[in-house]
């Protein structure tokens, strides 16, 4: 479900939940713990996925089976995970090894640097298209990366964009051949760690203050709103239609 690979003092956390690295409740909790533990033992972190897919986002079929209290616990863990990334005391790079929609893109947004596989892979926050409103902290993180105008365009339309466009608008920081994505993410961490450590880390912390503040702003209300929206009639219908499409595609494949 989650593999750990050491590159000297840099720890790679590799999502390993085939076929799409969907974020189940168990994987969310494991990744949160790994980020928090890694921040104490490593000098840099890299989040990676499988060839062709970083993460398809939340495991919607599993979450649809939960009652309100169970979903609330998962939502709490997920927002704790993105805050752990935002507040991580060491640099974090996302090695986007393939498609990165929805929750996959969210994880990447809260990292310091994003290296994406070049080619026909897509990334974006398509939550609106599947019936979920975008929570404020995630919209704030998107605006930090691409600016307010681009963030509005991408978020309201729930747009998934190809890697080249993601690079052009600032959603990712560099493209690389698929087999070079993880090495380039590791190299980025090493480059940062080669700088005078104390000044670099203090400046990095200052640069990420707004991201952490966005996670903390009305935290409980944001979580409650997400849960309330999830159980809304329109969202439930859209999510169940999504699951039906995925199941049909799986049968046809």
What string of pLDDT tens digits covers the 253 residues of the chain? 999 999 999 999 999 999 999 999 999 999 999 999 999 999 999 999 999 999 999 999 999 999 999 999 999 999 999 999 999 999 999 999 999 999 999 999 999 999 999 999 999 999 999 889 999 999 999 999 999 999 999 999 999 999 999 999 999 999 999 999 999 999 999 999 999 999 999 999 999 999 999 999 999 999 999 999 999 999 999 999 989 887 777 656 5
**Beta strands 10-15 and 2-7, pairing class:** antiparallel
Instruction: Report CA 77 to chain centroid distance, whole Å.
Output: 13
Domains of the chain, CATH where assigned: 2-252 (3.90.226.10)
Report whether 96 contacts 117 (CB < 8 A).
yes
pLDDT at 252: 60
pLDDT at 253: 55
Please state the φ and ψ torsions of residue 124, each to the nearest 5 degrees. 160, 170
C-alpha span between 52 and 252 (Å, rounded): 20
pTM metric for this prediction: 0.96
- Hey, is 15 helix, strand or coil? strand
């Amino acid at each position: 479900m989650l593999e750990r690979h050491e590159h000297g003092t840099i720890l790679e956390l590799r999502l390993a939940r085939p076929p799409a690295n969907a974020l189940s409740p168990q994987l969310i909790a494991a990744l949160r713990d790994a980020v928090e533990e890694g921040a104490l033992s490593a000098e840099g972190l890299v989040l990676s996925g499988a060839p062709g897919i970083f993460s398809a986002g939340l495991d919607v079929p599993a979450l649809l089976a939960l009652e309100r209290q169970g979903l609330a616990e998962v939502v709490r863990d997920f927002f704790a995970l993105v805050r752990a990334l935002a507040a991580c005391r060491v640099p974090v790079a996302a090695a986007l090894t393939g498609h990165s929609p929805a929750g996959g893109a969210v994880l990447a947004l809260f990292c310091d640097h994003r290296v994406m596989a070049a080619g026909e892979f897509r990334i974006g926050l398509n939550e609106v298209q599947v019936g979920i409103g975008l929570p404020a902290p995630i919209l704030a993180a998107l605006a930090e990366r691409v600016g307010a105008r681009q963030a509005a365009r991408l978020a309201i339309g729930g747009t998934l964009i190809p890697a080249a466009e993601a690079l052009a608008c600032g959603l990712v920081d560099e493209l690389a051949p698929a087999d070079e994505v993880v090495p380039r993410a590791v190299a980025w961490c090493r480059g940062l760690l080669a700088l005078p450590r104390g000044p670099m880390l203090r400046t990095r912390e200052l640069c990420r203050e707004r991201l952490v503040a966005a996670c903390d702003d009305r935290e409980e209300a944001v979580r409650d709103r997400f849960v309330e929206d999830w159980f809304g009639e329109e969202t439930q219908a859209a999510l169940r239609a999504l699951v039906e499409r995925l199941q049909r595609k799986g049968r046809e494949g």
